[in-house]
Amino acid sequence: MQRNEARRKVEQLRRTIREHNRRYYVDNAATISDGEFDGLMAELAALEERFPQLDDPESPTHRVGGEPLAAFRTVAHSRPMLSLQNTYSAEEVRRFDERTRRLLGEEGPLAYVVELKIDGIAVALRYERGHFALGLTRGDGTQGDDVTANLRTIRSLPLVLSAEAAPIPERVELRAEVYFPRAAFAALNARRREAGLGLFANPRNAAAGTLKLLDPRLATERHLALFAYQLLDAPELGIENHGAALERMRAWGLPVNPHVRRAAGIDEAMALCEQWESRRRDLPYDTDGLVLKLARLTWHASLGATSKVPRWGIAYKFETDRAQTRILRVDWQVGRTGAVTPVAVLEPVQILGTTVKRATLHNADEIARLDARLGDRVTIEKGGEIIPKVVEVHREARTGEQRPLGPPQRCPVCSERLEREAGAVAIRCVNEHCPAQLKRRILHFASRGGLEIEGLGAALVEQLVDHGMVHDVADLFALTTEELARLERMGPRSAANLRAALEASRRPSLARYLHALGIRHVGARAARLLAEAYPLLHDLAAADPEALASLPEIGPTIAASVHRYFARPESRQLLARLEQAGIIPRPIAKTAEPSSLAGLTFVLTGTLPNWSREEAGQHIIARGGRVAATLSGKTNYLIAGENPGSKLAKAEAAGIPVLDETGLRDLLSRGPSGD
């Protein structure tokens, strides 16, 4: 083949390949098979090798990545890279709309462009005379790292813009989000696991890590992708609205997300947002919300920006019950049964409107499984539980300063020996008189699920045990008003109130009493079932394990534990002392099916008048219901108190029934009553 003929062929192949790339990545509509595409690439590569003088750094064959860099060059952004105002609350988005209308002096509705908020890494891209010239990370917003070489490996990023549909200005600058498609992320982690390398915690971290690779050849294997979402200087090109700016970028061959929609006003925009709550899970990439941008670019110009965010847009984030933070310290807590559990003390972080400072690490096995260390960056999840949990450790974020977390050798409170039962994961303090265990037992005894002794809180229990005034729960009833009044933060009135509360608690239902005793494996529900089957405590205490295990929902573990409890002389002694103190449980009437809420999922939000959310949750769980942190298609009821946040509007929009505390109490009492 002659050189001229080869040149023509090479140019034609490059054009064809770019066109197919565009159909594949930008239009999402391939017209040839992957095999045919690979054939074209191979043909081009062979020609470039035979005629090296025809080689060109922008050839589609050169996505493989250039030479490794020693470090990234820092380059100033032509315009600051701002962030967006963001919120989880629909009301706040509506307030944004109202404020913006006032600022603009517009009477009628404001038109918006609604886009998915891609959960990736922002980049600034520059094209000069249609050629990809520079790509920067956000950095500190005024200057970023030059990651051009890594960005060149992204197949959906055109190295040359197409002038077919619209002319290309001398210089084009745009902003885009680089992301890891879920499938590519899963494949990357699978390869890393096989190679014994650390895993990336999520696609976003993997995208960030890939952009920061100094060797672009490694980036080639990672299959990143990107969506362009902002064209700078669009008005200078005669473009009047943001939707048209996105279209222009698409015409140049840049990938623009296909789910962008125009909304005539805020109502339409919010309706679009609602749809994505559940639909987003079907997308092949992660999103963390929606972005509402005013459609008209003249509005963008007149509104301008604060030092951090533009006034023409807002991000409406999806609620999630997870967040990332750091482990500052680990406290080993001794529970009422002696189980010593690790609790991570965290850098405070907001989840679903509350500040989270602690999360459980469950046990030493879980620490080992997660390989959690002091100083680690972690993901925590609120879930339906009272205490959030650590669900993920971000090993890739380690700095070398993280320290391993060994379990303690002795009880952190009483220094007694710790024991691990065969087959169990928990380590336990063997000292039944361990003050930490005793304090917890007393608090549990007095709690709302137990004897509900008003005013007996943690600070008071702390003093009662530390001053040696109480050695077991029966001692509580011998305390005099005078003794109580002498304690810190107590006065005659609170002492008298506590005394009255102790008196008032002398006739608990047997269900509450059993629960209050803190028998291992006996929660509120099992206590109720046992109390229903054995209206008299003496009969229950005498029951053999087989008889107990034959009760509905009482398995062999609970049965054995109950039997063991009543067989122990210490328990018998305590029960006798409680009886002497006048604590006589009442038999309960079998009212209704205790699992009246079985199969129902509840979400709680806002402040309830009498119950904390946790208490309300416990009542629901005791009736067999489930409590979730976020609304979903599975939610049956939203229980809303004061200041319910965005969940209320979302539930109403989704047609989920909303109850207040009274409504919940009604629902609970339609099943078995509190007693």
Binding of ligand IVH by 204 (CB under 6 A): no
Piece in contact with ligand IVH (CB under 6 A), picked from 82-90, 98-106, 358-366, 440-448: 82-90
- Per DSSP, 664 falls in state H
DSSP 187-244: HHHHHHHHTTPPPPSSHHHHHHHHHT-S-HHHHHTT--EEEEEEETTGGGGT--BHHH
- Among the listed residues 12, 74, 83, 480, the single contact to ligand IVH using CB under 6 A: 83
Q: Which of 274, 623, 603, 578 is nearest to 451 (CA)?
A: 578
What are the C-alpha distances in Å from 363 to residues 386, 542, 591? 17, 35, 39
Distance CA 587, CA 531 (A): 7
Query: Least CB distance from residue 10 to ligand IVH, whole Å?
Result: 37
C-alpha distance across the termini of the chain, in Å: 94
Query: Least CB distance from residue 251 to ligand IVH, whole Å?
Result: 18
Binding of ligand IVH by 77 (CB under 6 A): no
What are the two backbone dihedrals, phi and then psi, of residue 86, each rounded to the nearest 5 degrees?
-135, 155
Query: Is position 634 annotated as part of the catalytic site?
Result: no
Cβ-based nearer residue to ligand IVH, 2 or 306:
306
**Candidate list 9, 117, 634, 647, residue with the active-site label:** 117
Binding of ligand IVH by 426 (CB under 6 A): no
Interacting positions 288-307 with ligand IVH (CB under 6 A)? 291
Residues 159-178, one symbol each (x = binds ligand IVH by CB under 6 A, - = not), give ------------------x-
Inter-residue contact 444 to 435 (CB < 8 Å): no
Binding of ligand IVH by 529 (CB under 6 A): no
Binding of ligand IVH by 82 (CB under 6 A): yes
Query: Least CB distance from residue 97 to ligand IVH, whole Å?
Result: 17
- Among the listed residues 44, 47, 84, 476, the single contact to ligand IVH using CB under 6 A: 84
Query: Least CB distance from residue 114 to ligand IVH, whole Å?
Result: 9
Binding of ligand IVH by 286 (CB under 6 A): no
Q: Looking at the DSSP assignment, which residues form a beta bridge with residue 377?
A: 326
HEC per residue, 473-514: HHHHHHCCHHHHHCCCCCCHHHHHHHHHHHHHCCCCEHHHHH
- Among the listed residues 61, 162, 210, 230, the single contact to ligand IVH using CB under 6 A: 230
Binding of ligand IVH by 229 (CB under 6 A): yes
Binding of ligand IVH by 315 (CB under 6 A): yes
Cβ-based nearer residue to ligand IVH, 291 or 527:
291
Binding of ligand IVH by 118 (CB under 6 A): yes
Which two structure tokens, joined as six digits, stand for 257? 């997300």
Owner of token pair 């205790």: 594
Amino acid at 234: A
E-assigned strand segments in 243-402? 261-263, 287-294, 313-317, 322-334, 339-351, 354-360, 373-374, 377-381, 389-393
Inter-residue contact 508 to 518 (CB < 8 Å): no
* Residues 6+ positions from 260 with CB-CB distance below 8 Å: 113, 114, 115, 116, 243, 246
Q: How many residues bind ligand IVH (CB under 6 A)?
A: 14
Cβ-based nearer residue to ligand IVH, 177 or 392:
177
Binding of ligand IVH by 243 (CB under 6 A): no
- Among the listed residues 14, 18, 77, 117, the single contact to ligand IVH using CB under 6 A: 117
Query: Least CB distance from residue 586 to ligand IVH, whole Å?
Result: 58
What are the two backbone dihedrals, phi and then psi, of residue 364, each rounded to the nearest 5 degrees?
-65, -35
Active-site annotation, residues: 117
Binding site for ligand IVH (CB under 6 A): 82-84, 86, 115, 117-118, 122, 177, 229-230, 291, 310, 315
